[in-house]
A and B are shown apart, each in its own frame.
Chain A
């Protein structure tokens, strides 16, 4: 088998959406949350605290530009401008470099709040699989964080690691989940979780005659084990949800469920009219500007 170095397979769908049944008038309060992650930049626009539109785009080499791009993308076709947003909260890895943000919050608080908005108060554990790290977050009925854990800075078990595999195996990233389930029997997981070494291991397995499906299954399983261990360490309290790009990877979701012995709450149908779990962070940022959860004093000090 020859492995080409065409690197378009990691490309995931960048898109924006305006909620069809919603609108705004000049008396409404428009706010926004912008989540600049290491791989994806997301923005959510809210009208009176309700989600109105969003945009998901790839983070470029420059955080401020990516933030502008994501917000403009979310504002597209809404008739709104950035200046219409009364208050903008930045979050994610690039949160300190968002030029127009009134405030910055960590993605931990935002993902919990966003998940609470998307799925409701029964969410008590959130697994956010980001581009460069994974976070296991526990929260209460209101989406308030009660404890959390993050993995080390490492692409192992993250979205970026999955992109590397998409390229290596030349499979569009959005098909990886389905494909990884097309095995008769679950293979043992790859032993290396480090992406650089796992890649080498995968090449070795392919040469040995393993199918792409089997290799994917082995890698996805290794990732899922890492994720479920993090959840076990933080302590699983149902219901569990997964946010971030990997929530769309059915191979990951089903294996995390198997490892933990619980079902995640069903993912909203984001292709139709449901909210996209990838925007949980931006959405949470958009909601958290209401000083009800955060300390008003801190709010004053930082604005």
Chain B
């Protein structure tokens, strides 16, 4: 009985011969497709930003910074290249379980690598069947044509094995990049789960130290935690501004939180605070961006990624009638930053435990279950609904996203109890269904309008 654990050695990072390009693409194809897709994407980014300015002529001035950051092929890429040339390591991650504080403490740079490109999901079809969730297919496609600068620049990928898609994506990407699989327990509130998870976190710490040559100590971990705590504070400040009459559109707020996934965290925090200062002044001046009876909507479900997968927020806020997106429960937006790492004592042990807890216990991902289902998610939603005075929820699912699709029934039941209408909207990485989605979203907003009218 005793001998097993002792004998288990820490896994040495296997040195695998990494492939250069995917067999499903040729260098020639990359050379033609990459510039085409990049140009198309730059155009879409520019068009979306243009539209955001047009629909809201009095858009906060401080959004300018985030507009610049929104260019996935722009300034930030140059900065990352520069940092890499100076010897810094770039750590790509596919999921919000990746412990950013450890990455930062090791003086490495975290960037999220999930793809929001519609076009590349069609390329991904060559590798995996169309039934697989669009995010996975699109990320594979982006790798095939080397479209994502963040993915390409990553020295290592932290791939979290949350859903089936992410687990197998880890293997596929593992043929081209070194990956560190991070396995999360599916039941979180047990002692053994937390123990297992803390070991996983420690393994990432060891790996990071080996890769960067920087030992993670109290000295560098504390400032890293303080850094993300400040970011969370700025983020919460922005969210508080969305609880009553609104001074910022949901799309702008979403853009701010999405840029956190690749921006420099200190600078992001500073710019978010500057934006909040401007918004505070607007609250004082009562410069609302929409009439107070505009239906207040929340999105929950499959994560959405910039730049292409932006259709739902845009349909909500630019349709007829108009709604206002005042909150979301997406791991690509509000769940990124909602919870700070809570520290009692600044000892190494405490800090590591606090990091482990922050990433595991606070997470509302549907990959979790318990005897009460994924009750953390339900509670999170109920709190948001109350705080942000939500009138209707759109439950968004990309096809193939099994966990979110299956959890709908439970969420619906909980929201029915408090009489909050919820609409299940399933779609894919495609522009073809925009007309159909428009009818659904507008009908939902009309329904909310009719309720407000009572």
Contacts and interface: CB of A to CB of B under 8 A. Distances in A.
Do A and B make up one complex?
Answer: yes
Interface of A: 93, 104-109, 133, 144-150, 152-153, 292-295, 297-298, 301-302
Given A153-B433, A302-B321, A295 B449 contact: yes
- Of the candidates A109, A144, A145, A295, the one having the most CB atoms from chain B within 10 angstroms of its own CB is A295
Nearest to A302: B320
Contacts of A147: 421, 423, 447
A297 B436 contact: no
Given A93-B439, A106-B442, A293 B453 contact: yes
B443 A145 contact: yes
Interface string B270-309: 0000000000000000000001010000000000000000
17 contacts: A106-B442, A108-B443, A109-B443, A109-B447, A146-B447, A147-B421, A148-B443, A149-B424, A153-B436, A293-B450, A293-B453, A295-B450, A295-B453, A297-B291, A298-B321, A301-B291, A302-B321
B443 A106 contact: yes
B91 to A, nearest CB: 39
Given A294-B446, A294-B449, 15 more contacts: A93-B435, A106-B446, A107-B443, A108-B447, A144-B447, A145-B443, A147-B421, A147-B447, A150-B436, A295-B293, A295-B321, A295-B450, A298-B322, A298-B449, A301-B291
A105 B443 CA distance: 8
Interface string B430-454: 0001011001101110110111110
Nearest to B440: A150
B452 A108 contact: no
Give the top 5 A-B pairs by smallest Cβ distance, nearest first: A108-B443, A106-B443, A295-B449, A145-B447, A298-B321
Contacts of B423: 147-148
A201 to B, nearest CB: 23
Given A146-B447, A153-B433, A295 B452 contact: yes
B450 A145 contact: yes
A70 B439 CA distance: 21
A152 B428 CA distance: 12
Nearest to A106: B443
Nearest to A145: B447
Interface in B378-395: none
- Of the candidates B321, B421, B423, B451, the one having the most CB atoms from chain A within 10 angstroms of its own CB is B321
- Of the candidates A93, A146, A149, A150, the one having the most CB atoms from chain B within 10 angstroms of its own CB is A150
B446 A109 contact: yes
A95 B452 CA distance: 24
A108 B445 CA distance: 11
A301 B435 CA distance: 22
A302 B423 CA distance: 24
A44 to B, nearest CB: 19
Contacts of B443: 106-109, 145, 148
Contacts of B439: 93, 106-108, 150
Contacts of A146: 421, 447
Contacts of B320: 104, 302
Contacts of B421: 146-147
Contacts of B291: 297, 301
A144 B450 contact: yes
A145 B443 CA distance: 9
Contacts of A297: 291, 293
A106 B440 CA distance: 8
Nearest to A92: B439
Contacts of B436: 133, 150, 152-153
A133 B433 CA distance: 13
A106 B442 CA distance: 7
Contacts of A293: 450, 453
Nearest to B447: A145
Contact of B450 (A104, A294, A301, A302): A294
Interface in B316-351: 320-322
Contacts of B449: 294-295, 298
A93 B452 CA distance: 26
